[in-house]
Amino acid sequence: MKRFIVFGILISALTLLTIDVAGVKQAYSEPATETKVDVYDQQKLVKSVLFAIGVNKYYVDGKPNGVVMDAKPFIQSGRTFMPIRFLSNALGVEDRNIFWDGSVKKVTLMARNRVEMTVENPAISVKAPGEERSSLKIIDVSPILKAEEGRTYLPARYIAEALGYEVSWDEATETVLCWPKGEVKPDVSAVIQKAVEERAKLEKPQEPEKPSEDGKPVVAKQLEQMFGVTMAEYGSSLTYQPPRQETMNKRDRSYYTLWYNPENGYIGVSVAWDLINSDTRTVSLDLSPIERVLNWKFPGQPEKVKEIMDYAWKVAEKTKEVWYQEKRLPNKTFYFDGHQVLVVSVGNAFVSVHISKN
């Protein structure tokens, strides 16, 4: 994804971005999905939880529909890793009992046991009810912080065992099964088959977008019609940027740029100021191009669009008042509907929105 973000930023005459996660207070600040479920049934662990490498779902109690995630389990150093919130939710830990201390990069889970792990520290601390002290176990991996996503991944086996589960790994299907400690291992063969089928669908190469009658991709034509502009080829993408003379003549107003990459469906829209204007405080902001693209891309999602736009306005207004880079608001990524929506301000952009598939 970085390559596409960099491209969009080049189009808007922007600079590379970084994501700051140090100020995050709770791990569950990662965007939630409406499909989250708890795996407790009247305060008892249910029969099973199944994760599959490369599949953006986990399966509870042998149910084949699965719970949708905005990330996929992956293998590193011979261990399966999952995002904090989804792994914890799947194993019965509610959001309010998931904590992230950005100052030391430590995760704390409050369930039957208190479980703690720290990024770059291959150890897990577990404190059981009634015990005065925590027990510390040295392990072979540590949590992984992916700065580009602004999220931390935990080793599934060690967390599951610390929360009271038995864990098994099936090499042939690359699946992890968790079930309550002391109980008989459940038969979830039907769900494993479902997970394998889901993975096959996700790994199937996507067919390239068919061009419109004049040879341009359909999405590019839709953007052109929406804004009444013409997008030109720039490398593997199509872009629109107003003529420089036009932005100079209207430097008291913001202007927008668009870009679209038909190879991966990446869409970007940026609201910027003309560099000839040395005082951004005099520029009148218009973020309606961003809102139009979001409403078009995510119809029927007005609440999510509003959430993104609220933050986009905060970013743009902050940049307008204090344009130098280190004082701008941090980047923020929204995950929903199988997409990532990045809101960022760099270079001469008040705010940019980058839309890509998970």
Measured between alpha carbons, how far is 31 from 36 in angstroms, rounded to an integer?
11
Q: Which residues of the chain have pLDDT under 70?
A: 1-46, 148-149, 204-214, 323-326, 358
pLDDT at res. 27: 42
pLDDT at res. 50: 94
Residue 48 identity (one-letter amino acid): S
E-only strand ranges, 22-160: 40-41, 44-45, 49-52, 57-60, 67-68, 74-76, 79-83, 98-101, 106-110, 114-118, 121-127, 135-138, 144-146, 151-155
Measured between alpha carbons, how far is 159 from 117 in angstroms, rounded to an integer?
9
pTM of the model: 0.53
* Domains, the chain, ordered by start: 2-20+209-357 (no CATH), 31-203 (3.30.457.10)
Measured between alpha carbons, how far is 119 from 240 in angstroms, rounded to an integer?
42
pLDDT at res. 152: 87
| Contact criterion met (CB below 8 Å) for 50 and 195 | yes
Six token digits for residue 225: 């019609």
DSSP string, 197-239: HHHHHHHSPPPPPPB-TTSSBHHHHHHHHHHT---EEETTEEE
Tens-place pLDDT, residues 90-126: 888 888 888 988 889 999 999 888 999 999 999 999 9
61's torsion region: left (phi>0), alpha (psi -120 to 50) or beta?
left
Q: Give 323's DSSP letter.
A: -
